[in-house]
Amino acid sequence: LASSLNLNTGITFLFIGQMVERKGIRQLLAAWTKHIEVNPNDNLIVIGAGVLKDSLNEQYAETTSVHILGGIPYNQLHKYYALCDVFIMPTLEDNWCLVIPEAMACHKPVAGSIYNGGTCELVIDGKTGYQFDPLKEASILETLRKFHNSDLILMGEAAMKVEENFWPDKAAKRIYEGIDKYCDK
């Protein structure tokens, strides 16, 4: 898969989400063009469908480090999680972006938007990834840069450990214990 995409040797970042304004993909791609001036060997894989797909694909067609793939069947996404080094979600509004814990379950460090409801619980700066403000280009660029000075394997392992606290059986157990404690009073 990596050779068919003709990936460079740097860090491969992955975005999976709708190609719509509220997902922050436009902001990420704009910052990316500056990021690759300093880190020309990095890659950005973009997976998703939506109203922005065609225009962004056309706009970044000459940017060889950007791979806009469009929609991918869900049963094929695991290949892209395995391929990437870092998952990035620049959403401008989300209650709980499911792709964040999916990536963490795949042992991937995460760059998470501060506008995603789950980021504050899942993304621990310097441990499981980094939080950033996608409305500030400097914040995106700084976050992308930080991964170059991080142990991505160690971060991925930490991400998995944090994410597993949100598995349904553990969440159900906490709910049960809370109800049990309340009923004892």
Average pLDDT over residues 146-161: 96
Average pLDDT over residues 158-183: 77
Cβ-based burial of 179 (10 A; exposed 0-12, middle 13-18, buried ≥19): exposed
**Longest Cα separation, the chain:** 65
The pLDDT-based confidence of 119 (bands split at 50, 70, 90) is confident
Q: What is the mean pLDDT of residues 103-115?
A: 95
Give the Å distances, CA to CA, from 80 to 75, 83, 106, 141, 174: 11, 5, 10, 23, 32
- Report whether pLDDT(176) > 80: no
What pLDDT does residue 122 have?
A: 86
Average pLDDT (72-85) is 96
